[in-house]
Chain A
Amino acid sequence: MDQTHIKYTLSWAAMAAMGFVLIFMAQMVGLIGHYGVTTIVLIGINVIAALGLNLVVGISGQFSLGHAGFMAIGAYATALIMGVLPGVMGFIVGMVTGIAVSGIVALIVGIPTLRLRGDYLAIATLGFAEIIRIVIMNLKITNGPAGIFGIAPFVSWQLVYILAVITLIIVVNFVRSMPGRAIIAVRDNEIAAESLGINTTKYKVIAFVLGALFAAMAGSLRASFIQSIAPKDYAFMQSIMILIIIVIGGIGSMSGTVITAIALGILDTLLQNFGSLRMVIYSVILIVVMLIRPQGIFGSRELSLKKWLFDGGDGHDTDHTENA
């Protein structure tokens, strides 16, 4: 806790607060209307989900294609509980329940499947997410393919902004904690990590469960914001959309994830004017970005405030980003 560190933390907090004030002002002045607020909320929700997935794919190196399944759990738990328990209380209880259920499911799914490697794990997680969706689609309580409507709206952009910032703080600090370092060690060389006494499966499961918790939180926020949910919102494509954010941002780069989520959110809004050409343009941009920068926009580097503000920091940021 030297002085640079305190200065760094303070300036980080100042930047986060500045973003908040900036959006607030823009809204007050009328620079962003109802539509802009929707974009901001959806970006924030994507940031939360993508940071969770980046923890799994980028930091622990486990290729998961099942993120949408956990988002679905969060969303449906929130919607169902809010149906029984009205008011803000219902929303809070629903979100917490969703996060808890998602964590438990991730634990049950993760322990056996995380022994699988690479693409086999990808396909197993994809399978689980699809099973979750198909079960939701066929249950009576979840109202089948039609989904649940009229969920009370308790989500404002302020709430999403604060939760996204908290998620970022948790994820970044987790990566630098003891378990975080262990997870990186397992990613970089599983055999070497194991020989140093790291329980590889345990740390993979920790990353996977954490990722699922954030996915559920994102799903829960989305349910209350959009006010309706349907199983088709949580299909394979949803997992892919989140995966695209982290790959374009640079796998393992948290700042890359945040910036890409914002950029893609804005791009999506801009492309709304193109009607049915929208997805065609989007896919061409996706291919071109990958061809130009296969390692993602930021690679595995982080955009570091410390490097900008206090040139030559103590290397706090550089050591974990060099690998990967």
Chain B
Amino acid sequence: MTIFIQQVINGLMLGSVYALLALGYTMVYGIIKLINFAHGDIYMLGAYFGYFFIKVLHLNFFIALVLAMAVSAVIGVLIEYIAYRPLRHSPRIAVLISALGIAFLLENGMTYLYGSDQRSFPQAIKTVQYHFYGIQVSNIQLIIAVTSIVLMLLLTYVVKRTKMGRAMRAVSADPDAATLMGININHTISFTFAIGSALAAAGGVLIGLYYNSIDPLMGMTPGLKAFVAAVLGGIGIIPGAAVGGWLIGILETMVQATSFSAYKDAIVYAMLIVILLIKPTGILGKNKREKV
């Protein structure tokens, strides 16, 4: 039983990072219907910025986290401005390929500039293990959990209570009607990219601290899995991304603990397919009636 609870806790930690990434996917998809394949690479950039701020500028971990989020937010907005905005009225697949181009550019650009080797992330915070009734939790895991939950609450507040959040929901529901109501769609979309990228960067810095290593391709697999998490929870639905992220995190750690550990990713995808077949709109998705 303690092993089970231990795995659930470990899964929740990993899942929190997936959830942070999935939130960005889901918000961007909700607003411009784009699978932003470059999102996982923003997470990678975030980790590199965190590395830079801690290792080179010797900043405090939390200051570095906030700065990495801010810089990544700016980059996210720039990417949208350069590569996605001109294609807003083009076929959706064109934007998708453009997003893939950005993903390649970030991965290979970083490889070109800093090499493809793994770097060890500076241990900005000393690891301390706590034990409760045979369950082991480290302070870094707690930091990951608390930071992600704080960020998610902050996001919920922004989306539910602020003017910008209302604009985001309006644009995602009906862009044309939103324009007629005087909402600046471009600003709203930029803002969405800024928030999504900041959350991804936070995930990157946290995972760097947790796994202690970063490399230019670190965003690929988590990026895909976070997208799976977003679809699983119901894409475009913000709480769905969190639910999906945690679910995948727990499932992955559980499988890791069994003899099927080599198949952990396959099991994640299999679960995705099963859920899509049973409920194509995701766990929290609402069924839309189709009108002819």
Query: Which residues of A are at the interface with B, using a C-beta cutoff of 8 A?
Result: 57, 63, 112-113, 115-117, 119-120, 122-124, 126-128, 130-131, 134-135, 137-138, 191, 236, 240, 243-244, 247-248, 251, 276-277, 279-280, 282-284, 286-287, 290-291, 294-296
- A291 with B266: CB separation less than 8 A: no
* Residues of B close to A120: CB separation below 8 A: 231, 276, 280
- A244 with B266: CB separation less than 8 A: no
Encoded as 1 (CB less than 8 Å from any A CB) or 0, chain B from 275 to 292 comes to 011001000000000001
* Residues of A close to B95: CB separation below 8 A: 290, 294
Known pairs A119-B235, A135-B266, A291-B83; A124 contacts B276 (CB<8 A): yes
Q: Which residues 83-131 of B have a CB within 8 angstroms of A?
A: 83, 86-87, 90-91, 93-98, 100-105, 107-109, 111-112
- B276 with A280: CB separation less than 8 A: no
- B235 with A113: CB separation less than 8 A: no
Interface size on B, residues (CB 8 A): 43
Q: A287 CA to B108 CA in the complex, in Å?
A: 14
* Residues of A close to B235: CB separation below 8 A: 119
* Residues of A close to B93: CB separation below 8 A: 57, 63, 247, 251
- Min CB gap B143→A, angstroms: 31
- B83 with A286: CB separation less than 8 A: no
* Residues of B close to A287: CB separation below 8 A: 83, 98, 101-102, 105
- B1 at the A interface (CB under 8 A): no
Q: Which residues 235-292 of B have a CB within 8 angstroms of A?
A: 235, 262-263, 265-266, 269-270, 272-273, 276-277, 280, 292
- B97 with A244: CB separation less than 8 A: yes
Q: List 23 A-B contacts (CB under 8 A).
A: A112-B277, A113-B273, A113-B276, A113-B277, A119-B35, A124-B273, A126-B269, A128-B269, A134-B263, A134-B266, A135-B266, A236-B220, A247-B93, A279-B111, A280-B105, A280-B108, A283-B102, A283-B104, A284-B105, A287-B98, A290-B98, A290-B101, A295-B91
* Residues of B close to A57: CB separation below 8 A: 93
Closest to B100 in A: A240
Q: A116 CA to B87 CA in the complex, in Å?
A: 26
Select one of A112, A127, A291, A296 contacting B269, CB under 8 A.
A127
Q: A277 CA to B107 CA in the complex, in Å?
A: 12
Closest to A290 in B: B98
- A138 with B35: CB separation less than 8 A: no
Known pairs A283-B105, A287-B83; A123 contacts B91 (CB<8 A): no
* Residues of B close to A240: CB separation below 8 A: 100
- B272 with A127: CB separation less than 8 A: yes
